[in-house]
């Protein structure tokens, strides 16, 4: 399917605060060939964001906008807000408990404590949990507001750069955490390459992302077609939470393997329903349907989320 006239027009100029650039699959380096649907603006039930076309790579299954809308004001256009405002829906105590469990798991797999780098520090929960357990800690965070917040809480050194362009040293970290971050980044291939360089041999990377090929997304897209819409429910390139790349188990494995990172443990799970509640019969039906789909998605690799520990070869 050819790009729509609307998106063709957007490719010619910066519109609505974005630059629009042709996007090939960063894993396979080929143009996407499967149109998934429109997302944002007129293709969003609340009108959030800007109308974007979402495509899929036929080889690895990676999902992404084409053309890609890059924020004209840089990442700060999306993320230079207060950390408590951006993460307002996240319970601080729960996040800190989860961070502690993640660091404990890293220690169990590695067999010791060591030097840990958290990429995309958010409010600093992982840094705080690692520091409490006796790890050496550093973080990477391009958002000035998030970096300030996490640095104040954890006293960790924060590299205030995009990870792919950062000055982090090679062969220096025993564990790197990339939790709920990779789907936000515009250069996933470069990011994973940089992380692989920064890890020591046999070092560990933890990464988790939504599974955009999971049953939830399949059912959501089928629902849009049933309503005779060319919309999709994949990604959020121009509205919160600003997900710009969508991984599947296949595409994530391919990306990690490409950069000498061998998945050690690989989990695909249902998690919580992503559909926000709304009033009325349709709202009730959507909520009920989402709960059913989320429960069924725990079968096989159809879950809504992927998490893995990978070992540097």
Alpha helices (H) along 46-200: 76-79, 83-86, 92-110, 125-132, 144-154, 188-198
Helix (H, G, I), strand (E, B) or coil at 146: helix
The residues that bridge with 306 in the sheet, in sequence order, are: 209, 268
| 83-212+247-312 has CATH 3.20.20.70 classification | no
Two tokens, residue 158: 């924060």
Helix (H, G, I), strand (E, B) or coil at 141: coil
What's the confidence (pLDDT) of residue 249?
A: 97
Q: Which of 203, 215, 292 is nearest to 249 (CA)?
A: 215
Instruction: Tell me the helix, strand and coil percentages in the chain, rounded to 5.
Output: 35, 25, 40
Element holding 290 (H helix, E strand) = helix 280-296
**Cα separations in angstroms, 224 against 48, 220, 286:** 17, 6, 11
Query: Which residue shows structure tokens 């063709």?
Result: 8
How many Å is the Cα radius of gyration of the chain? 19
What's the confidence (pLDDT) of residue 283?
A: 67
What's the confidence (pLDDT) of residue 275?
A: 61
Compute the distance between CA of residue 176 and CA of residue 119 in angstroms, rounded to an integer. Answer: 7
What's the confidence (pLDDT) of residue 184?
A: 96
Instruction: Encode the chain (313 residues) as per-residue pLDDT tens digits.
Output: 334 444 444 444 566 899 999 999 999 999 999 999 999 999 999 999 999 999 999 999 999 999 999 999 888 888 877 766 776 555 677 888 999 999 999 999 999 999 999 999 999 999 999 999 999 999 999 988 999 999 999 999 999 999 999 999 999 999 999 999 999 999 999 999 999 999 999 999 999 999 999 999 999 999 999 999 999 999 999 999 999 999 999 999 999 999 999 999 999 998 766 666 666 776 677 777 777 777 777 777 889 999 999 999 9
In the chain the first and final C-alpha atoms are separated, in Å, by 40
* Inter-residue contact 121 to 140 (CB < 8 Å): yes
Domain boundaries, the chain: 15-79, 83-212+247-312
Q: Which of 266, 212, 201, 208 is nearest to 237 (CA)?
A: 212
Q: Which of 190, 292, 208, 205 is nearest to 252 (CA)?
A: 208
What's the confidence (pLDDT) of residue 12?
A: 45
Compute the distance between CA of residue 258 and CA of residue 192 in angstroms, rounded to an integer. Answer: 9
Q: Is the pTM of this model over 0.95?
A: no
Two tokens, residue 192: 């994973």
What's the confidence (pLDDT) of residue 1?
A: 36
What's the confidence (pLDDT) of residue 6?
A: 44
């Amino acid at each position: 399917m050819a790009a729509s006239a609307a998106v063709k027009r957007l490719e010619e100029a910066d519109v609505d605060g974005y630059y629009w650039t042709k996007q090939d699959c960063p894993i396979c380096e080929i143009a996407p060939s499967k149109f998934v649907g429109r997302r944002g603006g007129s293709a969003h039930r609340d009108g959030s964001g800007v109308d974007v076309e979402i495509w899929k790579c036929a080889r690895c299954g990676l999902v992404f906008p084409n053309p890609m809308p890059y924020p004209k004001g840089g990442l700060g256009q999306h993320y230079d807000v207060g950390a408590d405002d951006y993460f307002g829906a996240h319970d601080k105590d729960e996040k800190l408990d989860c961070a502690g469990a993640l660091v404990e798991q890293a220690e169990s797999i590695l067999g010791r404590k060591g030097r840990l780098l958290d990429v995309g520090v958010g409010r600093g929960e992982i840094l705080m949990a690692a520091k409490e357990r006796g790890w050496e800690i550093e973080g990477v965070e391009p958002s000035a507001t998030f970096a300030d917040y996490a640095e104040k809480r954890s006293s960790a050194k924060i590299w205030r750069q995009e990870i792919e362009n950062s000055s982090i040293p090679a062969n220096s970290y025993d564990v790197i955490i990339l939790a709920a971050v990779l789907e936000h980044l515009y250069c996933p291939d470069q990011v994973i390459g940089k992380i692989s360089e920064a890890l020591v041999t046999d070092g560990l990377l933890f990464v988790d992302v939504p599974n955009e090929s999971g049953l939830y997304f399949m059912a959501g897209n089928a629902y849009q077609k049933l309503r005779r819409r060319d919309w999709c429910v994949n990604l959020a390139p121009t509205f919160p939470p600003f997900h710009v790349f969508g991984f599947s188990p296949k595409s994530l494995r391919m990306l990690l393997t490409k950069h000498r990172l061998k998945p050690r443990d690989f989990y695909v799970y249902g998690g919580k329903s992503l559909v926000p509640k709304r009033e009325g019969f349709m709202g009730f039906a959507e909520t009920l349907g989402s709960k059913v789909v989320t429960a069924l998605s725990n079968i096989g690799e159809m879950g809504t989320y992927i998490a893995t520990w990978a070992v540097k070869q």
